[in-house]
Chain A
Amino acid sequence: MSPTEVTAEHNPLRDSRDLRLPHIAGPCSLVIFGVTGDLARKKLMPAVYDLSNRGLLPPGFALTGFARRDWDDQDFTQVVHDAVKQYARTPFREEAWQQLAEGIRFVQGSFDDEAAFEELARTVHELDEQRGTRGNHAFYLSVPPSAFPTVCRQLARSGLSKPQHATDETQPWRRVVIEKPFGHDLASARELNDVVSEVFDQPSVFRIDHYLGKETVLNLLALRFANQMYEPIWNNHYVDHVQITMAEDIGIGGRAGYYDGIGAARDVIQNHLLQLLALTAMEEPASFAADDLVAEKIKVLSACRLPEDLAAHTARGQYAAGSQAGEQVKGYLDEDGTAPDSTTETYAAIRVDIDNRRWAGVPFYLRAGKRLGRRVTEIAVVFKSAPHLPFDSSETSDLGNNAIVIRVQPDEGVTIRFGAKVPGTAMEVRDVTMDFGYGHAFTQSSPEAYERLILSVLLGEPPLFPRHEEVELSWRILDPITAHWAAEGQPEPYRAGTWGPGSADEMLARDGRVWRRP
């Protein structure tokens, strides 16, 4: 008997038919910069624990925190422990926690402190010895973009950005994870990219848009490309227009420092909404491999065209004081930290046309705002009216356009709106909805977006991360609009808790359409 060969490419214990086998990340560690931030505490640390608890992290996984606080390993472990207990999705199990806790380290220092990065390099090297992380390390930059250049340069200087001891048999990796915003316009996005790509090569840079890790966004691809019944009508023969909405009910909270001067368009439309547009409108990719998927997204983003009259086809607003769902709330200009004459928009709506055979003549309306009626993100594909109705007009007066609505959050699911006969002797047709709730049909405990994304980084699977080309293209679409707005002065105020300023309704009325109330 001669045993089966084992090579780097062929592991006999992995069989493509063996669908149960969990895909566990190889030996590696994660270094988080900015561990004292909200994102790290509420999302990243709990996601790491959840992954560990589900057995998807390698046995010797290590988590290193880097921050200015005067902590030692124990203090930081306690911080992670508290964050996990409070925010983790999966139940807290002492054994699972112990396993993770053994690999937790902390390095104290500021980003300009060379000695601290030396210390970090030493810590990471020690982890290779003590935890068997074998030189594979990911750096999560949960820090403001202004700190990216410094951190990247320090990582390069201390030798952390490039693995040593690569041999024929092993090629350890270093990866860097960055969060939005990827700049505030095309020029700054390029600058940022230059800084990062100086230190890390493109395939090692993972840009996180957490929307792309959401179950429903991935389901959009399943809905479109795994089914026969939607794709035939997914074009300008049948679709009248598409509305993509991301509404938040909260104000800017304590984020004035970041938000003031940025506004809703740069904060949300540039990344989340244009990504959703790309996934809704793109052609079928050759496969779901990163390169094929990105190729289709880039094609559709390059075909995007803005209206010539930006004043008529965009709208912006700023929330004013009001009562939202029974609670008194401040106006944007009264929030702590905003300039009293700030022209930053908290509501933005734009029209984008896509110049290709499938979508010519079908406008895509994108809107995003804060302090709106309720928190909801959805994609509504609104269909044309039937070309002929064999009913009296009085019988169909309640009938609207058919629509397919993909709810991204909350209450993920899909709704189809269509006409049905009202019970009774008269032939009366009215809109009804058919609803698919993700949580009703599948696991209620579907993984958090960050769990999926962190695991993808550690496994080195890039399909869920936007590339730099996509970032550039989105800025190309948005830059003329923000430039136009900059010359317009104060945005139109809207009462908190409503669906935005009157100009947004007028914008759609000009095209003979109305916003859906989500």
Chain B
Amino acid sequence: MIIDLPATTTTAVAKKLIKLRQEGGAVTLGRVLTLVIVTDTSSTTEAIDAANVASREHPCRIIVLATGSTEKGIDAEIRIGGDAGASEVIILTAPAEALVHADTLVMPLLLPDAPIVAWWPREAPANPGADVIGAMAHRRITDSYRSADPRASIRRLAEAYRPGDTDLAWTRTTIWRGLLASTLDQPPFEPVLRATVAGQDDHSSLDLLAAWLGEELDCEVDVVRTPGAQAVTSVTLTRASGDITLARPSGKVAILSQPQQPDHRIALPVRQLHECIAEELRRLDEDEMYGEVLTQGLRRVAS
């Protein structure tokens, strides 16, 4: 069901939600968090779709704050039931000047006592923690890769890091990190002398993956950037007994090669946005590892 509420206030929207709940039964029950998506009108659809899929795993109330010109005041749209996955979506479209007080705008719509997660699907504020929405959120999700200049963005985020920040470029490395970590669980137990990360030239996941390897292994890391490559294409860990290589040239299937072991083929498709958001929402406390990699590890990687 989609309900349009043109030229309204969020107090009226909150009242409408309570009314819908009384009439329709189980709306807003058992929601575990409020997800505030800050965007402009051009990229709302894509963000809502991803959040709806993720909401199957984490039922939430989704508030979309879209900057756009409206005829007067704030336009609202409520989506519940089949149009909203397992969530309920409230889209607020307001002119930029009305969003100066974005915190008090969304206040009546926040779920009581539940954590707030802020997500900027494309451009994030230079200092997310100081942003009005960011400041009241428990978690701030940025996406440096989808910003205009990913590598500059991730370094700007490093300057402004506060506990509670995460970036989807980091989320995109999780499966790679899991596979790489498990290779070192097996003998021979030798130190890694050098690590090489290769992939798409402007992909900020490369920087974070290299920063993580450098920081944890305390070794030289090289980043090989190729224009037109698809995300991360390979990681090589060089040890005395030979190289461990995890390569994904096609963007679908990866090959893991280790000395004296048969090669393994691994289904490793490039991660979808909704998978990344679902992973982000799984833990709502700060990601200390990300903080360390971003603020310290990234210095090892040439910008």
Contact = CB atoms under 8 A, between A and B. Distances in A.
Contacts of B29: 437, 440
B267 A4 contact: no
A3 B219 contact: yes
A132 to B, nearest CB: 4
Given A1-B220, A15-B289, A436-B30, A169 B188 contact: yes
Contacts of B288: 17
26 contacts: A1-B218, A3-B192, A4-B192, A5-B191, A6-B184, A6-B190, A6-B192, A12-B216, A13-B181, A13-B217, A20-B177, A20-B283, A22-B174, A22-B178, A26-B186, A98-B265, A99-B253, A99-B265, A129-B262, A169-B189, A436-B30, A440-B29, A441-B30, A442-B32, A444-B56, A444-B86
B289 A17 contact: yes
Given A19-B283, A20-B279, A440-B30, A14 B189 contact: no
A22 B175 contact: yes
| Interface majority SS (helix, strand, loop, mixed), chain B | loop
A14 B181 contact: yes
B180 interface: yes
B3 interface: no
Given A20-B287, A59-B264, A132-B264, A445 B57 contact: yes
Contact of A96 (B262, B267, B289): B267
Contacts of A129: 262
Given A4-B191, A17-B288, A19-B287, 7 more contacts: A15-B216, A21-B181, A26-B185, A59-B264, A59-B265, A93-B269, A443-B57
B179 interface: yes
A169 B32 CA distance: 46
A437 B30 CA distance: 7
Nearest to A52: B267
Nearest to A55: B175
Contact of A2 (B184, B218, B266): B218
Contact of B179 (A24, A53, A98, A443): A24
Given A18-B289, A132-B262, A3 B253 contact: no
Interface in A21-66: 21-22, 24, 26-27, 53, 55, 58-60
Contact of B267 (A95, A170, A443): A95
A98 B254 CA distance: 12
B182 interface: yes
Contact of B193 (A3, A27, A102): A3
Top 9 nearest A-B pairs (CB, nearest first) are: A440-B30, A59-B264, A95-B267, A13-B181, A3-B191, A443-B57, A96-B267, A22-B178, A18-B289
A99 B266 contact: yes
B30 A11 contact: no
Nearest to B254: A59
B186 A134 contact: yes
A7 interface: yes
A131 interface: yes
B22 interface: no
A8 interface: yes
A20 B280 CA distance: 9
Contacts of A22: 174-175, 178
B61 interface: no
A130 interface: yes
B227 to A, nearest CB: 26
Nearest to B170: A20
Contacts of B268: 55
A60 B262 contact: yes
A17 B188 CA distance: 25
Contacts of A102: 265
A55 B217 CA distance: 24
Contact of A441 (B26, B32, B292): B32
A434 to B, nearest CB: 11
Contacts of A59: 179, 256, 264-266
Nearest to A54: B175
A11 B174 contact: no
A21 B178 contact: yes
Contacts of B178: 21-22, 24, 55
Contacts of B292: 17
A59 to B, nearest CB: 3
A88 to B, nearest CB: 14
Interface of B: 26, 29-32, 56-59, 86, 171, 174-175, 177-182, 184-193, 213, 216-220, 252-253, 256, 258, 261-262, 264-269, 279, 283, 287-289, 292
A14 B182 CA distance: 9
Contacts of A15: 216, 289
Contact of B174 (A13, A21, A27): A21
A130 B261 CA distance: 8
A212 to B, nearest CB: 23
A95 B255 CA distance: 12
Given A19-B283, A95-B269, A444 B57 contact: yes
Contacts of A6: 184, 189-192
Nearest to A102: B265
B186 A13 contact: no
Contacts of A170: 187
A89 B45 CA distance: 28
Contacts of A93: 267, 269
Contacts of A131: 262, 264
Contacts of B26: 440
A31 B253 CA distance: 26
Given A26-B182, A59-B256, A444-B86, A13 B177 contact: yes
Contacts of A14: 181, 185
Nearest to B260: A132
Nearest to A61: B264
A217 B136 CA distance: 35
A220 to B, nearest CB: 19
A2 B218 CA distance: 7
A190 B230 CA distance: 59
Contacts of A21: 174, 177-178, 181
Interface string A201-223: 00000000000000000000000
Contacts of A436: 30
A13 B184 contact: yes
A61 to B, nearest CB: 9
Nearest to A134: B186
Contacts of B31: 441
A11 B181 contact: yes
A20 to B, nearest CB: 5
B16 to A, nearest CB: 22
Given A22-B174, A58-B182, A440 B59 contact: yes
A7 to B, nearest CB: 5
A11 B189 CA distance: 9
Interface string A78-103: 00000000000000010110110010
Nearest to A93: B267
B187 A169 contact: yes
B209 to A, nearest CB: 11
Contacts of A130: 262
Nearest to A4: B218
A436 B59 CA distance: 13
A19 B288 CA distance: 9
B90 to A, nearest CB: 19
